[in-house]
Amino acid sequence: MLGENILRLRKGANLSQEALGDIIGVTRQMISNWELEETAPNPEQLKLLSKAFNVSADDLLNNDIQNIIVKKVSDTEIVVNAIMKVLKVIGIAFVAFVIIIAIAELVIVLTASVSSL
């Protein structure tokens, strides 16, 4: 169960065994052994894995890791959508600002032209 979770999370993060090993300070072979459940990470390594995958140690040990991954993706989508809405509002405000500035410059030019007549 733990080995499968490490494998799923590692692949979900698009990391090689070597890259994950570098992140938490172990060899690629050790990651392989964990994923094959030949050995298990010690408590400190489990803590580092949890941090690397941004999940709790309980979640890492849980057999329902797929639901955790889906929830994290869903949470990420919510944040991204909120950011996109804010950026859209900022973009609209910027366009409105540029239009107002252009109109103001046009008024100034027209006023200067009329007063020079």
Do 115 and 72 reside in the same domain of the chain? yes
Residue 116: pLDDT over 60: yes
Distances in whole angstroms, Cα of residue 107 to Cα of each of 55, 58, 94, 100, 112:
59, 66, 20, 10, 8
**Is the pTM higher than 0.75?**
no
**pLDDT tens per residue across span 35-81:** 999 999 999 999 999 999 998 888 888 765 555 566 666 677 788 88
Token pair in block for residue 53:
């995958």
Q: What is the average pLDDT across 19-45?
A: 95
Residue 105, domain extent: 65-117
1 in the same domain as 53: yes
Residue count of the chain:
117
Q: Do 115 and 70 fall within a single domain?
A: yes
CA–CA separation, 101 vs 61, rounded Å? Answer: 59
Domain count of the chain? 2
pLDDT for 71: 62
Note the pLDDT of residue 10.
93
**Domain CATH for 23:** 1.10.260.40
Same domain, 59 and 71: no
**Together in a domain, 49 and 74:** no
Residue, of 96 and 63, whose pLDDT is higher: 96
